[in-house]
């Protein structure tokens, strides 16, 4: 397969102009075919993925994808169609397909574009585009160095699931018949490694990864490997514990899932369907007073940053929880209409959600907890969004006198998110920053841990 490279800045500018024109053509064609309004999106992406296992190349894949979609409205009747063919004939046929469907759909009074006044007036440069073009040979070498570092941590590292390098660059364009057309390029790169350790009859696996918009912000390949190896070793000799109710620390990577539960509960789609345990909860206290949860979609180089949402609405920093009190839902234009509210610019989700860290690092939280469980891995998806009931398989470490004593496995954590939120005692300053949610570790007052 021929080697591909991401476009230069000048080439990206030319591509942006071309795809923006394509969006305008789509919208013009929708009007010509009778649509009262329309919105369209076009994307082009390219990337490289390399997998290495036990020092040998497993797969190498160059990707190049493109697609366009059109949504048309005939009054309050709506339909969508998409294609990966960018030819003028395909554009006309895609618009025609959407229009033909829309004429026969049921009217929905909330179907339509967001208000013209909410559109992004400018598209700020958020420094999201940092293309990387390692040769396949360079990518393979990075993966081998990463995996080798993991395997050399200790002779007990007996096997490997491999190391993976992924680099991606893309361009997204959105426009609608309000006259808004916006676009921005972005990149994302990652390196990961997972290895297996054995000691007697005990066998464990663990992993580590790094991710960033710019390649120079990735952790060194050897550092990623060593971290994966050290995490695997720490889990060897894991035991089961008896069922108990104790304080629990969710390590930062695990605390992310608790915030995802909050996001799901305040998302408009769950709220208007009345399938959220936080329905009608605005201005209620959910957390202790010290908790501040907010998003910053305009964070430079943020992994979830975007100058506008998927409906063209301008994004802006906002608070969701202030002083422990729920201040805002996360709404698209459609869900806001269904709820009799206004869009919050969250069509497509929240972007760079964060909870303010406290003063303690993880060791400080362990000392504060004194005795309990540190959760470092969770399995399954055990959240009932209607009731908030929470139950997931877990693994981690038992803590006594503020210090880790031994690894534990085959346990289940059970509680209710409302009660867990209310029982948050402290947030660590060991922030997890590799995704769309940023948080330190969480120390929760008391949770049921089901074991033997």
Mean pLDDT of the chain: 95
Q: What is the pLDDT of residues 24-39, one digit of tens each?
A: 999 999 999 999 999 9
Q: Quick one: pLDDT at residue 2?
A: 42
Q: What is the mean pLDDT of residues 125-129?
A: 96
Question: CA Rg, the chain, in Å?
Answer: 24
With a pLDDT cut of 70, the percent of the chain lying above it is 98
DSSP 55: T
Q: What is the mean pLDDT of residues 244-255?
A: 96
pLDDT beyond 50 at 167: yes
pLDDT beyond 60 at 4: no
**CA atoms of 257 and 391, how far apart (whole Å):** 12
Q: Quick one: pLDDT at residue 8?
A: 65
Q: Quick one: pLDDT at residue 162?
A: 97
Q: Quick one: pLDDT at residue 3?
A: 47
Give me the CATH topology for the region 9-235. Answer: PmbA/TldD fold (3.30.2290)
> Going by C-beta distance under 8 Å and a sequence separation of 6 or more, which residues neighbour residue 28?
none
With a pLDDT cut of 90, the percent of the chain lying above it is 94
Q: Quick one: pLDDT at residue 12?
A: 80
Domain segments of the chain as ranges? 9-235, 238-452
Q: Quick one: pLDDT at residue 201?
A: 86
**Residue 259: how many CA atoms within 13 Å on its side-chain side?**
32
Q: What is the pLDDT of residues 300-354, one digit of tens each?
A: 999 999 999 999 999 999 999 999 999 999 999 999 999 999 999 999 999 999 9
pLDDT beyond 70 at 378: yes
Q: Tokens for 318?
A: 């906002």
Q: Quick one: pLDDT at residue 11?
A: 79
**CA atoms of 6 and 42, how far apart (whole Å):** 18
**Residue 6 banded pLDDT, cuts 50, 70, 90:** low
**CA atoms of 57 and 278, how far apart (whole Å):** 48
**CA atoms of 263 and 331, how far apart (whole Å):** 11
**Residue 164 banded pLDDT, cuts 50, 70, 90:** very high
**Residue 5 banded pLDDT, cuts 50, 70, 90:** low
Q: What is the mean pLDDT of residues 177-184?
A: 96
Q: pTM for this structure?
A: 0.93
pLDDT beyond 50 at 263: yes
Instruction: Specify the 3-state DSSP secondary structure of 348.
Output: coil
Cα dihedral sign, 312-314-438-383? negative
Q: Are strands 372-379 and 244-250 parallel, antiparallel or unpaired?
A: parallel
**Residue 1 banded pLDDT, cuts 50, 70, 90:** very low
């Amino acid at each position: 397969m021929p080697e591909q490279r991401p476009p230069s800045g000048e080439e990206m500018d030319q591509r942006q102009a071309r795809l923006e024109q394509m969006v305008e053509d789509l919208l013009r064609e929708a009007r010509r075919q009778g649509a009262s309004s329309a919105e369209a999106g076009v994307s082009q992406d390219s990337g490289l993925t390399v997998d290495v296992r036990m020092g040998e190349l497993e797969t190498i894949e160059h990707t190049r994808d493109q697609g366009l979609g059109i949504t048309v409205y005939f009054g309050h009747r709506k339909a969508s169609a998409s294609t990966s063919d960018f030819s003028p004939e395909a554009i006309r046929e895609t618009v025609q397909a959407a229009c033909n469907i829309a004429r026969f759909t049921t009217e929905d009074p909330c179907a339509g574009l967001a208000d013209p006044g909410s559109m992004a007036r400018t598209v700020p440069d958020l420094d999201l585009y940092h293309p990387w073009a390692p040769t396949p040979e360079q990518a393979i070498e990075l993966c081998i160095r990463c995996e080798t570092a993991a395997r050399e941590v200790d002779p007990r590292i007996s096997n490997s699931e491999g190391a993976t390098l992924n680099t991606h660059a893309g361009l997204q364009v959105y426009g609608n018949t309000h006259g808004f057309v916006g676009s921005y390029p972005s990149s994302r790169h990652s390196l990961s490694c997972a290895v297996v350790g054995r000691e007697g009859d005990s066998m464990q696996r663990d992993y580590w990864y790094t991710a960033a918009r710019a390649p120079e912000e990735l952790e060194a390949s050897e550092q990623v490997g060593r971290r994966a190896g050290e995490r695997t070793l720490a889990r060897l000799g894991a035991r089961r514990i008896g069922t108990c109710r104790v304080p629990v620390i969710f390590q930062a990577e695990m605390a992310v899932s608790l915030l995802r539960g909050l996001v799901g509960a305040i998302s408009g789609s769950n709220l208007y369907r009345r399938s959220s345990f936080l329905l009608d909860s605005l201005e209620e206290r959910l957390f202790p007073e010290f908790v501040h949860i907010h998003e910053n979609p305009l964070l430079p180089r943020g992994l979830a940053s975007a100058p506008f949402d998927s409906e063209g609405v301008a994004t802006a920093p906002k608070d969701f929880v202030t002083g422990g009190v729920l201040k805002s839902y996360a709404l698209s234009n459609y869900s806001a209409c269904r709820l009799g509210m206004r869009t919050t610019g969250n069509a497509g989700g929240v972007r760079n959600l964060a909870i303010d860290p406290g003063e303690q690092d993880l060791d400080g939280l362990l000392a504060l907890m004194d005795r309990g469980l540190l959760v470092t891995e969770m399995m399954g998806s055990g959240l009932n969004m209607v009731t908030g009931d929470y139950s997931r398989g877990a693994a981690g470490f038992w803590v006594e006198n503020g210090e880790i004593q031994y690894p534990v496995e085959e346990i289940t954590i059970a509680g209710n998110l409302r009660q867990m939120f209310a029982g948050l005692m402290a947030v660590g300053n060991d922030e997890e920053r590799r995704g769309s949610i940023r948080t330190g570790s969480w120390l929760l007052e008391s949770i049921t841990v089901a074991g033997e």
